[in-house]
C-alpha cells in the first residue's frame, strides 16, 4: 500500500481521491478516470432532461459540453490538459487558414506528429511505466476527430472521389460545400464531456445533429429539411435510452467483476516467465496464452461500453430502427462483444473491435491508399497507438495473418458450403484458428517491450508467422489485382470492406 501511495503522488491530476485510491487499492489515475465517467453518466442524463434541444439553444449546449469536458481532463491530467487543448486549437487554425486542397494533409501531419512526440516523451521519461500522467488517450481521440473532420471538409469542398475498389467510387461529401465549423462547434465536437476521455470518435455531422436536435429525427426518418428541433405533427417521438443504457451498464458491471477476478488470475507477464516457458509443454503454454488474453479483454469492454452508455444517456447514438420498430442505440458503439468472441475470421474480429477507430482508419487511409492498403493501414494504426515496440510487432504480424485469412476464405470456404454440417465444422475450425491467431498477435501489444515479445515468439516457435506467410504465398495465385479489392466477392456481392463499413448515412440502420 505504501508503494501505491508513493506512485500515486506522481500524478499531475487531482489528488482529491487519493484516500479512496489507497482504500480500494487502485491506482489514482484509474480512480480519477472512473469518477469522471460516473459523473459524466449522471451529467449526461441531466443534459438530456434539462438541456434538451427543444428548450435550450445549441450555443448553451455546446458551452456546457465544453465546460464539463475541460473540467474532466484537468481533473485527470492537471496541466497536461494543455497539450490536448493546444492540439485542438492548432488544428482549428489549420482548418480555417489552410488551402482546402491540402487541409487534410496538414492536419494529419500536425496531429500525428504532436501525438507521437508526446508518446515518445512519455516512454522516455517513464521507461515503459503507465502512470497517471498518461494523457495520450484523449490525445489519440482528438487526433482521430481533428483528422477525420479535416478529410471530410476537404472531400466536401473539393468533391473528392474516394476509390474504395476498382469498380465502385464513394463521394465523401460529408461537409456542406460552403460551411466550416465555428470555434465553439469545433471545441464542442472535440472536447465534449461525453467522449473526451475515452471516445468514441463520431462523425462531426452526427454530433452537430445531436446538439441541434436533428439527430433522432434524421435517424428515424424525418425529412432532413424540416425543423426537427421544434415539435410538429410529423415529428418522430424521441425514444428513451433507458433500456439501452441499463443493458450496457449491466455489461459494465459484469466486465468489472471479470477484470477484478480473471485478470489477476491470468497475468500476461506469466507467458514469458522463464520457468514457465522452460518447463511447461507447448500446448500448456498455448492454452495459457489463450486464457490470459481472454482475461485481458474485460477492461477494454468495460471502458468502451461505459463510454457508449454515457453518450446514449445524453440522447446520442440512435442508429435507426428495424422492421419491428425497435430502436438501435449503437451508432457510435466501439465494439460488438458477441461478434468478437464468435469471430470466425481475423477480419471479422477486427471489424468488431474498436469499431470507430476502424471507421477512422478506413476514412483517412484504407479508402485512399493507391496500393498496399492493408499494410499502410496497419502501420498507421501502430503509429497512432504509440511508440512502444510491442504495438509495431502486433500490427506488422497482423499483415500476413490478414492476407492468409483472405486467401483461406476465398479459396477454401466455398468447398465447405455444400452442407450445414460441413459449414459448421468449417466455422468451428476457423473460430479456433482466429482466436489463437488473435492471442499470438495481440500478446506484444500487452507486453510492450522488445525483449519479452521476442521471448514469447521464441517460446511459440514463431509458428503463426510461419504458417500465415506460407499460407498467404500458397494461396496468392487466387488473388485479384489490388490489395484485397475486387469488383465482386466470391458470392457475387460487394466486397466485405463495403458491406461491413458502409459510408455514413443519415436515415437508415446501416449508416455508421
CA angle 94, 95, 100 (to 5 degrees): 105
- Give catalytic status of residue 481 as yes or no: no
Number of residues that make up the chain: 512
Among 190, 354, 501, 512, which one carries the catalytic annotation? 354
Among 271, 385, 501, 512, which one carries the catalytic annotation? 385
- Give catalytic status of residue 385 as yes or no: yes
R_g of the chain computed on alpha carbons: 23
Closest to 311 measured CA to CA, from 193, 212, 226: 193
CA quadruple 298, 299, 305, 309: dihedral sign: positive
Strand ranges inside 234-324, DSSP E:
320-321
Contacts of 225 (CB under 8 A, 6+ apart): none
Contact 407, 479 (CB under 8 A): yes
The span from the CA of 512 to the CA of 501, in Å, is 8
Contact 58, 211 (CB under 8 A): yes
CA quadruple 479, 484, 486, 488: dihedral sign: positive
CA distances from 57 to 64, 268, 413 (A): 11, 50, 55
Question: What are the residue numbers of the active site?
Answer: 354, 385
Amino acid at each position: 500500500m505504501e508503494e501505491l501511495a508513493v506512485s500515486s503522488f506522481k500524478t499531475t491530476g487531482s489528488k482529491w481521491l487519493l484516500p479512496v485510491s489507497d482504500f480500494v487499492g487502485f491506482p489514482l489515475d484509474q480512480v480519477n478516470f472512473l469518477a469522471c465517467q460516473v459523473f459524466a453518466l449522471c451529467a449526461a442524463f441531466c443534459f438530456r432532461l434539462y438541456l434538451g434541444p427543444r428548450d435550450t439553444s445549441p450555443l448553451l449546449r455546446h458551452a456546457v459540453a465544453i465546460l464539463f469536458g475541460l473540467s474532466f481532463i484537468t481533473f485527470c491530467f492537471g496541466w497536461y490538459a494543455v497539450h490536448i487543448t493546444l492540439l485542438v486549437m492548432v488544428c482549428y487554425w489549420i482548418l480555417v487558414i489552410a488551402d482546402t486542397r491540402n487541409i487534410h494533409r496538414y492536419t494529419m501531419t500536425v496531429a500525428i506528429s504532436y501525438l507521437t512526440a508526446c508518446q515518445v516523451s512519455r516512454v522516455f521519461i517513464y521507461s515503459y511505466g503507465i502512470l497517471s500522467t498518461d494523457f495520450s488517450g484523449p490525445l489519440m481521440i482528438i487526433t482521430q476527430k481533428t483528422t477525420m473532420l479535416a478529410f471530410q471538409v476537404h472531400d466536401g469542398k473539393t468533391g473528392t472521389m474516394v476509390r474504395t475498389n476498382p469498380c465502385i467510387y464513394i463521394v465523401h461529401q460529408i461537409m456542406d460545400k460552403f460551411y466550416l465549423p465555428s470555434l465553439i462547434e469545433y471545441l464542442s465536437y472535440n472536447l465534449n464531456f461525453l467522449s473526451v476521455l475515452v471516445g468514441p470518435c463520431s462523425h462531426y455531422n452526427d454530433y452537430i445533429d445531436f446538439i441541434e436536435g436533428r439527430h433522432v429525427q434524421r435517424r428515424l426518418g424525418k425529412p432532413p429539411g424540416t425543423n426537427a428541433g421544434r415539435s410538429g405533427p410529423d415529428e418522430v417521438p424521441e425514444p428513451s435510452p433507458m433500456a439501452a443504457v441499463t443493458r450496457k451498464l449491466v455489461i459494465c458491471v459484469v466486465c468489472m467483476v471479470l477484470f477484478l477476478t480473471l485478470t489477476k488470475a491470468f497475468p500476461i507477464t506469466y507467458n514469458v516467465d522463464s520457468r514457465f516457458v522452460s518447463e511447461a509443454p507447448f500446448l500448456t503454454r498455448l492454452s495459457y496464452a489463450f486464457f490470459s488474453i481472454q482475461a485481458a479483454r474485460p477492461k477494454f469492454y468495460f471502458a468502451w461500453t461505459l463510454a457508449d452508455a454515457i453518450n446514449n444517456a445524453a440522447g446520442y447514438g440512435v442508429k435507426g430502427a428495424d422492421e419491428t420498430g425497435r430502436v438501435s442505440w449503437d451508432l457510435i458503439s466501439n465494439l460488438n462483444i458477441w461478434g468478437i468472441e464468435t469471430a470466425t475470421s481475423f477480419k471479422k474480429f477486427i471489424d468488431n473491435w474498436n469499431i470507430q477507430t476502424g471507421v477512422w482508419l478506413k476514412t483517412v487511409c484504407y479508402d485512399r491508399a493507391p496500393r498496399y492498403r492493408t499494410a499502410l493501414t496497419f502501420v498507421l494504426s501502430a503509429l497512432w497507438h504509440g511508440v512502444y515496440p510491442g504495438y509495431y510487432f502486433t500490427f506488422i504480424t497482423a499483415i500476413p495473418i490478414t492476407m492468409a485469412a483472405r486467401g483461406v476464405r476465398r479459396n477454401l470456404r466455398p468447398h465447405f458450403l455444400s452442407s450445414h454440417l460441413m459449414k459448421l465444422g468449417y466455422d468451428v475450425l476457423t473460430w479456433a484458428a482466429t482466436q489463437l491467431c488473435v492471442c499470438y498477435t495481440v500478446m506484444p501489444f500487452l507486453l510492450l517491450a522488445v525483449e519479452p515479445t521476442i521471448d514469447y515468439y521464441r517460446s511459440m516457435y514463431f509458428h503463426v508467422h510461419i504458417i500465415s506467410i506460407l499460407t498467404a504465398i500458397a494461396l496468392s495465385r487466387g488473388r485479384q489485382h489490388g490489395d484485397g479489392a475486387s469488383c465482386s466477392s466470391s458470392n457475387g456481392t460487394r466486397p466485405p470492406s463495403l458491406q461491413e463499413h458502409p459510408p455514413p448515412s443519415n436515415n437508415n440502420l446501416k449508416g455508421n
